[in-house]
Amino acid sequence: MSKPLPITFQETDLDAIATFSGSLALVAAPDETAARSPAARRLNRLTKGALNRLLGSDGWGEVKPGAAATLGFPAGLAADALHVVKAGPRADSQTARKAGATIGKAVGKSGVLVLAGTMQRAAELSFGLALRAYDFEAHKTTDPTQRGPVTVMVKDPEAVALAAKPMAAVAEGVFFTRDLVNEPANVLTTDDFAARLAAMQELGLEVEILEEAELKKLGMGALLGVGMGSESPSKVVVMQWNGGGDEAPFALVGKGVVFDTGGISIKPAAGMEDMTMDMGGAGVVAGVMRTLALRGAKANVVGLVGLVENMPDGRAQRPGDVVKSMKGDTIEVINTDAEGRLVLADVLWYAQERFKPVGMINLATLTGAIIIALGHENTGVFSNDDDLCNAFLKACTAEGEGAWRMPMGEAYDAKLKSRIADMMNVGGRDGGSITAAQFLKRFVKEDVPWCHLDIAGTALLKTESTLAPKGATGWGVMALDRLIRDKFEG
């Protein structure tokens, strides 16, 4: 898997500035104090006043917090570039991460030396740097991106390194999720996905793979129906992290459709290649579980993912078919492209029956309707419990991951009424993301706090974002890890 760049922290050494041959990054305050730090004064002397001219220019005034102005091949320095990043010593967490991301985007094969001085959130800067330096190159055979070492010079390197350690675990979890979502479907089959999750046993996770025979015994007819047209066997993978006491676990449930053609209700050809990301919910669950194990979380969490492939075939599920869920409810399949909710229905019920969780969050690239509603800036959040929902939204705000609560209500249930079964799997175009959530809610017991996260708009982007290049974002790993830290680890 892709690994975050190694970052070392050292005490500031002003004499090393002149001879460093990679890129230099100076973290500079947004006000008149920018030129007063020891590193800034040394750089200004070496560049014969060029730094102060930059800091006094109109261009510097227009630079946004966390962004940078760059001097290319500055005279007086061996460096090939000097990036002056706008972020003060007391910059908030998001500004510090943006500053790090600005540097991470510019890391070349000669590496970068970051002069962070007395910046209080230098660990956050290093976190943003690591996240933005990600690049998925598993299938490139020519011109791989080369990135040299990263050194961050700070006043107290040991304290910063200590603060950065749990963030490094989160970064690895995010990278794991991004790799999974970026992988093509001929590589990330259900077998391959399950094998990657099973390999996390070496981190201390308990991993169990339920194969089709066991799923049939459990009565998971809704999930199994989705994969009937595929050569790849359907599976459910259970990952347990027991880092707490004897309390019941918190449950994370992910949709893992490794490729979604739409089945018999086939999708248009244009853009179908993006359906390699339809396992994004399972990818986030996997990334969170990896993070918890790497940082030794003091909580009990179980992650469950339903792995299937939705293909058209002579054996494939048809529109009009009726399937029976593990709960016992029957579902008329009106549209085979509304398959994710069928997968989640059985895995949600299994999670509750087996683990009796204290709460539950499911993630899925579930509906195009949520993209119409919220675009690519926010995940849609649906919930039956204000406390859990508010705690999650607070975690999203703290981590800078966009999320917006969407409405639910019994009125939407009427759209799911079936003539021949207990319910239909779709309720029409209007309110499509809400009726999908109402469908899932039928498989959540009344006393179980629950959130449904529709990440269709945030799991993979066509353009780069602040902390990620174009492609998979890993959205949700940071927020869910924060939620578990704040709500379940005390």
76: left (phi over 0), alpha (psi -120 to 50) or beta: left
Asked if the model's pLDDT at residue 203 lies above 90, the reply is yes
What's the average model confidence in pLDDT over 17-27? Answer: 96
Task: Find out whether 364 and 347 touch, Cβ atoms under 8 Å.
Answer: no
Same domain, 129 and 207: no
What's the average model confidence in pLDDT over 184-205? Answer: 98
Asked if the model's pLDDT at residue 93 lies above 80, the reply is yes
Same domain, 23 and 119: yes
Q: Specify the CATH number for the domain of residue 24.
A: 3.40.220.10
Residue 185's contacts (CB-CB under 8 Å, 6 or more residues apart) are: 258, 259, 275, 276, 309
Q: Specify the CATH number for the domain of residue 268.
A: 3.40.630.10
Lowest-pLDDT choice from 8-12, 138-142, 353-357: 138-142
Residue 368 lies in a domain: yes
Alpha-carbon distance values, 125 to 5, 64, 95, 133, 154 (Å): 13, 16, 8, 12, 11
CB atoms within 10 A of CB 48: 12
pLDDT grade, residue 459 (50/70/90)? very high
Same domain, 160 and 196: no
**End of a domain among 109, 134, 165?**
165
Residue 226 lies in a domain: yes
Same domain, 229 and 374: yes
Q: Which residues belong to the active site?
A: 267, 341
Strand 81-86 relative to strand 23-28: parallel, antiparallel, unpaired? parallel
Same domain, 133 and 194: no
pLDDT value at residue 138: 87
Residue 217 lies in a domain: yes
Q: What is the pLDDT of residues 29-57, one digit of tens each?
A: 999 888 999 999 999 999 999 999 999 99
**End of a domain among 165, 200, 221?**
165
Alpha-carbon distance values, 430 to 320, 416, 425, 426, 427 (Å): 21, 12, 14, 11, 8
Task: Find out whether 448 and 250 touch, Cβ atoms under 8 Å.
Answer: no
Which of 451, 432, 415 lies closest to 337 in space, CA to CA? 432
Same domain, 318 and 438: yes
Q: What is the pLDDT of residues 221-270, one digit of tens each?
A: 999 999 999 999 999 999 999 999 999 999 999 999 999 999 999 999 99
User: Residue 221 is encoded by which pair of tokens?
Assistant: 């007819």
Asked if the model's pLDDT at residue 99 lies above 80, the reply is yes
pLDDT value at residue 111: 93
CB atoms within 10 A of CB 157: 18
Same domain, 142 and 197: no
Q: Which residue has the tokens 């972020």?
A: 87
Which of 389, 387, 370 lies closest to 379 in space, CA to CA? 370
pTM score > 0.95 for this model?
yes
Residue 221 lies in a domain: yes
Q: Which residue has the tokens 């992910």?
A: 254
Percentage, residues of the chain above pLDDT 70: 100
pLDDT value at residue 375: 98
pLDDT grade, residue 141 (50/70/90)? confident
Same domain, 338 and 232: yes
256 strand-pairing partners: 307
Residue 310 lies in a domain: yes
Same domain, 366 and 401: yes
Residue 82's contacts (CB-CB under 8 Å, 6 or more residues apart) are: 23, 24, 25, 26, 43, 47, 51, 70, 71, 74
Same domain, 101 and 228: no
pLDDT value at residue 341: 98
Asked if the model's pLDDT at residue 94 lies above 80, the reply is yes
Residue 409 lies in a domain: yes
Number of domains comprising the chain: 2
Same domain, 279 and 311: yes
Alpha-carbon distance values, 326 to 291, 335, 349 (Å): 30, 20, 7
What's the average model confidence in pLDDT over 4-9? Answer: 94
Same domain, 155 and 287: no
Q: What is the pLDDT of residues 382-402, one digit of tens each?
A: 999 999 999 999 999 999 999
Residue 181 lies in a domain: no
Give the Cα-Cα-Cα angle 301, 305, 306 (nearest 5 degrees). Answer: 155
- In what order do the strands lie in the sheet containing 250-260? 206-210, 235-242, 300-310, 250-260, 359-364, 450-454, 379-383, 403-405
What's the average model confidence in pLDDT over 62-81? Answer: 96
pLDDT value at residue 146: 77
Asked if the model's pLDDT at residue 412 lies above 80, the reply is yes
Structural domain containing residue 309: 188-488
Residue 175 lies in a domain: no
Q: What is the pLDDT of residues 288-327, one digit of tens each?
A: 999 999 999 999 999 999 999 999 999 999 999 999 999 9
What is the SS3 string spanning the chain?
A: CCCCCCEEEEECCHHHCCCCCCEEEEEECCCHHHHHCHHHHHHHHHCCCHHHHHHCCHHHHHCCCCCEEEEECCCCCCCCEEEEEECCCCCCHHHHHHHHHHHHHCCCCCCEEEEEECCCCHHHHHHHHHHHCCCCCCCCCCCCCCCCCEEEEECCHHHHHHHHHHHHHHHHHHHHHHHHHHCCCCCCCHHHHHHHHHHHHHHCCEEEEECHHHHHHHCCHHHHHHCCCCCCCCEEEEEEEECCCCCCCEEEEEEEEEEECCCCCCCCCCCHHHHHHHHHHHHHHHHHHHHHHHHCCCCEEEEEEEEEEECCCCCCCCCCCEEECCCCCEEECCCCCCCHHHHHHHHHHHHHHHHCCCEEEEEECCCCHHHHHHCCCCEEEEECCHHHHHHHHHHHHHHCCCEEECCCCHHHHHHHCCCCCCEECCCCCCCHHHHHHHHHHCCCCCCCCEEEEECCCCCEECCCCCCCCCEECCCCHHHHHHHHHHHHCC
Residue 387: exposure state from Cβ atoms within 10 A (0-12, 13-18, ≥19): exposed
